[in-house]
Structure 1
Amino acid sequence: MLMEPVTFSESGGIRYLHFGSELIQGAMRIRDPDEIYLEYNQQMMAWLLFLETKPGMRVAQLGLGTGALTKFTHRYCPAVKNTVVEMNPSVIIAARSMFSTPSDDRRLQTIMMDAKQFVRYDDYQNHYDAIQVDLYDAICDGPSASSLDFYQGCYNALKSPGILTVNLFSRHPSLDLNLNHIGDAFDNRVLLFPESHDCNVVAIAFKGPMLSVEWQDVSRRAKLIMEKTGLPTNTWVSGLNRENAHQENKLSI
């Protein structure tokens, strides 16, 4: 299979990843490589609002990019075992050599394969507490994995309770297609963040027992995460509250 070329650019202290075009596939602040620089990437850590990290917890990132999620989890969630699924070997090399992503160790495993195949493997069924999906190619005309079969595979790979976060394009026909498939796979238990400045929308999907919690309790959790990690979670709760119908009084999903 022909892999897309991996290229780089730098501006204002930020290093960018590209797949042979000007479209940005990821970014890193050079002086703070473990920071999650892009807003939508930050929001893909939203599973932290609902799941306590603990020894033996497993999180999978489908699509490596600059390794932003991998680096952050490796540093701030030391109890978590990370699995990265990336099919392009050049992306893996670039993440380690240009974006300070750590090499594999007892808490980090990199698997070079197609994410669509990965979620169908029997070995990974009911295996992960959280899965983060950020799968785009050089064209960036919507996620490169968007079928109902793929999202059903993500559901099956999650434990109960488990949470999926997905990066979607807000101003593209693929948005409705993906939301419909995520909703079908997760019994319509889906929340959306407000659109970020770069036209991305992050979806959060839930597996397991129904969740019913006061927003003030979610806000307290968000504040704790911000204090421990520096993630700008102070805006997350109000954004989720406004963006999702029938969730005004309390979060019930």
Structure 2
Amino acid sequence: MEPVTFSESGGIRYLHFGTELIQGAMRLRDPDEIYLEYNQQMMAWLLFLETKPGMRIAQLGLGTGALTKFQHRYCPAVKTTVVELNPAVIVSARSMFFTPDDDRKLETLQTDAKQFVKVKKYKGLFDAVQVDLYDAICDGPAASSLEFYKGCFNILKGPGVMTVNLFSRHKSFEVNLKNICEAFDNRVLLFPESHDCNVVAIAFKGPKLEAEWKDVSKRAKLILEKTGLPTNKWVSGISRENARQESKLSI
């Protein structure tokens, strides 16, 4: 297991795995804020799914617990299952980044995400899956095989949405994108690259989705008003970045 280390600068606390590479960040004066842009975009399933009692989210990779804390605070009807292999990451998320302890809305499993997606009892259980799996080298996702992404597809309900953090300036990007597209029947959208070279992919399961972008924009505005999540640029970015999606969403 990689060593878990920390640094602080300008009121921001950072998580590292024994190197200078950043694995997550938190603004100390607002611990529940999702600080990093790509992390914010991992919440894009909110654009397409209404939160409701009984909804289940699988979060593969804990990091600083940014997504966990946000969902715990702003999505009270949702139960989040966090999957994290490194026990030190779980401890640091709670002690250094103020992630809440497990309760009726949150369960944390110390296990390998690659094995988790194969478990039969999880098949068709989750409304959304968030995948952010990186090791100390950060040269691409730690789980990237077609088998893994098929497992993510299998644990989703239909309709269901997966968001994945990819690293655009590395050969792993094309491999992951190809495998996600194959596992999800090419029903994949991409955010524009963020300033830190991350690209978040959104993959869909279930009935064909068709919507006017103006309606998706209304949804984005509502999320912004309720949570403060900066969704105001999401719709224009997604519609521009993806071929054949310019006039309306059809996927």
**Range of TM-score over shorter length:** over 0.9
Per the alignment, residue 241 of structure 1 pairs with: 239
1:53-100 residue CA offsets vs partner (Å, 9 max, x unmatched): 000000011000000000000000000001000010000000000000
**Cα deviation digits, residues 218-252 of structure 1 (max 9, x gap):** 00000000000000000000000100000011000
- Computed over aligned residues only, the root mean square deviation of the Cα atoms, in angstroms, reads 0.3
- Looking at structure 2, the residues matched to 173 and 235 of structure 1 have their Cα atoms a distance apart, in angstroms, of 27
2 CA distance for matches of 1:117 and 1:245?
34
1:53-92 aligned at under 5 Å gives the runs 53-92=51-90
Q: What is the aligned partner in structure 1 of residue 111 from structure 2? A: 113
Q: State how 1:27-176 maps to structure 2 within 5 Å.
A: 27-176=25-174
2: CA distance, partners of 1:223 / 1:172: 33
**1:216 counterpart SS class:** helix
Q: Which amino acid aligns with 2:214?
A: Q
Residue 229 of structure 1 is matched in structure 2 by: 227
Letter in 2 for 1:205: A
SS at match of 1:61: strand
SS for the counterpart of 2:77 is coil
Instruction: Say how many residue pairs are matched.
Output: 251
- Structure 1 residue 20, shift from structure 2 partner: 0.2
Match of 1:197 in 2: 195
Structure 1 CA distance for aligned equivalents of residues 159 and 235 of structure 2? 20
Whole-Å Cα distance in 2 between the matches of residues 180 and 133 of structure 1? 16
TM, length-normalised to structure 1? 0.99
Tell me the distance in 1 between the aligned counterparts of 2:235 and 2:139: 29
The 2-side partners of 1:111 and 1:119 are apart by 13
- Identify unmatched segments of 5+ residues in structure 1: none
**In 1, Cα distance between equivalents of 2:202 and 2:119:** 23
CA apart distance, 1:169: 0.3
TM-score by length of 2: 1.00
Distance 1:106 1:223 in 2: 29
Q: CA deviation digits over 1:129-154, x for unaligned, max 9?
A: 00000000000110000000000000
